[in-house]
Structure 1
């Protein structure tokens, strides 16, 4: 019997996940189909009940449902529980179990540019769900210093205080982060700044960025945001969000099938969807 997978969100038409996962099912000779499903906030509970009723094998969760889906699931993986957000659901013998592969996907993708975080000083910009997942995972990976900044400083403080892993960490407002930017080996941009239609937006000024640092943006469309353009002009290395997107998808695929897929193939599929 053909297995059914999906991604739920609002909006959802822009998602690259169906092309990526359907290609993986074909390449691995798995009889399955992955479908985007437009689910509005007010319909989430009914949608989850329906997906469970039809025996969906698994699904991804994107904005705005990553947090609100939690009470609708049967179980949570400990990391997803500590993060407070779910992006991957597995149906195990009729139980819907929630996972979060955003942070681990980010760190797996980061290893192509930075093999270890043990002696690194890291700054996370932003305090949304992706920032929270990345912050927790990097804290667990043992960064020497892991700081976080946000326009609303209380949101950044909440992430620091909720983190279950021991790590040296300070919380800054944007101005203070700009002044101390030269201290960091890795700067991670997790806000929507740079996405259409506000492609010229910057989350903060990069005038103190040190040459040789790695500037990482979790946005992959456009492939080079203004944040990355300016970082490159300062002599920094850059990485866009394509690796995070690919690896979080690969980890979800592995949870569903037991197979860790070809990430180079996944990357090429997404690039082809983006027009090269």
Structure 2
């Protein structure tokens, strides 16, 4: 759902008059849509954002599938990565994706999720979303660069590196250790400058952002229909399409 926020009430009215199972919501509506819903999933209520709306017997219920969609995508590619010994660095704290990913990774009971952001105060806003006993430190980007060798997974959650600013990179990977997985939720371009840099580090692995897009869509489809949709075979197909292959 895109467009002018002033037309949102009339769009919602039209949707409620139709016999549809639900719809997806994107920026800048993930927070304002909450005011038009009858009910929120507990995680969506905590996150304060919704990207999936489901019609349940005439009542609209809001969910956030970004975080769980991200987790599904990373587990599909690296099934042994997330465990009680895993240390994660989250880059960026300003968007809804960062909030959802932070909470969803915590639900996987990883050991540590540090948050790096230009503004530490903004990063601290994520701390109330912490799940369980996950440890979290708030860092500046220069501090994160110095500590980079401590992490098993680095997740870039901002729009840095997105078209047309493809020459941008949020941090230097000079201190990246081998075997670390570097993940970027940007998928236009499919190979961001950050991922290209990571691929040059011997032993490091990369994770593309389009997989998160597919898996959050899978979750939305499940909530609308009650049916499981296997998207595993679509990950490579979408990557090839984005590469122009």
Q: Distance in 2 between matches of 1:267 and 1:179?
A: 33
Instruction: Choose which of 211, 219, 225 in structure 2 pairs with 1:243.
Output: 211
Following superposition, the deviation at residue 212 of structure 1 comes to 1.1
Instruction: Choose which of 159, 164, 167 in structure 2 pairs with 1:197.
Output: 164
Q: Which residue of 2 aligns with 1:125?
A: 91
Following superposition, the deviation at residue 267 of structure 1 comes to 2.9
The alignment's TM-score, normalised by the length of structure 2, stands at: 0.93
1:108-141: CA deviations, max 9, x gaps? 1111214233210000001111010000011111
Q: Which residue of 1 aligns with 2:26?
A: 62
Following superposition, the deviation at residue 269 of structure 1 comes to 5.4
Distance 1:234 1:273, change over 3 A: closer
Following superposition, the deviation at residue 259 of structure 1 comes to 1.2
Contact 2:99 2:129 survives alignment (8 Å): no
The alignment's TM-score, normalised by the length of structure 1, stands at: 0.83
Q: Which residue of 1 aligns with 2:113?
A: 146
1:155-203: CA deviations, max 9, x gaps? 1101013435331110001111111111100000011011111001011
Q: Distance in 1 between matches of 2:241 and 2:149?
A: 36
Following superposition, the deviation at residue 54 of structure 1 comes to 2.2
- Gaps (5+ residues) in structure 1? 1-7, 10-38
Contact 1:55 1:94 survives alignment (8 Å): no
Q: Distance in 2 between matches of 1:134 and 1:109?
A: 12
Distance 1:95 1:170, change over 3 A: same
- Gaps (5+ residues) in structure 2? none
Q: Which residue of 2 aligns with 1:45?
A: 9
Q: How many residue pairs get matched?
A: 240
Task: Name the Cα RMSD after superposition.
Answer: 1.5
Q: Which residue of 2 aligns with 1:252?
A: 220
Q: Which residue of 2 aligns with 1:87?
A: 51
Following superposition, the deviation at residue 46 of structure 1 comes to 2.2
Deviates more, 1:222-231 or 1:257-266: 257-266
Asked if residue 176 in structure 1 is aligned to residue 143 in structure 2, the reply is: yes
Contact 1:136 1:165 survives alignment (8 Å): no
Q: Which residue of 2 aligns with 1:113?
A: 78
Instruction: Choose which of 228, 235, 240 in structure 2 pairs with 1:267.
Output: 235
Contact 1:82 1:163 survives alignment (8 Å): no
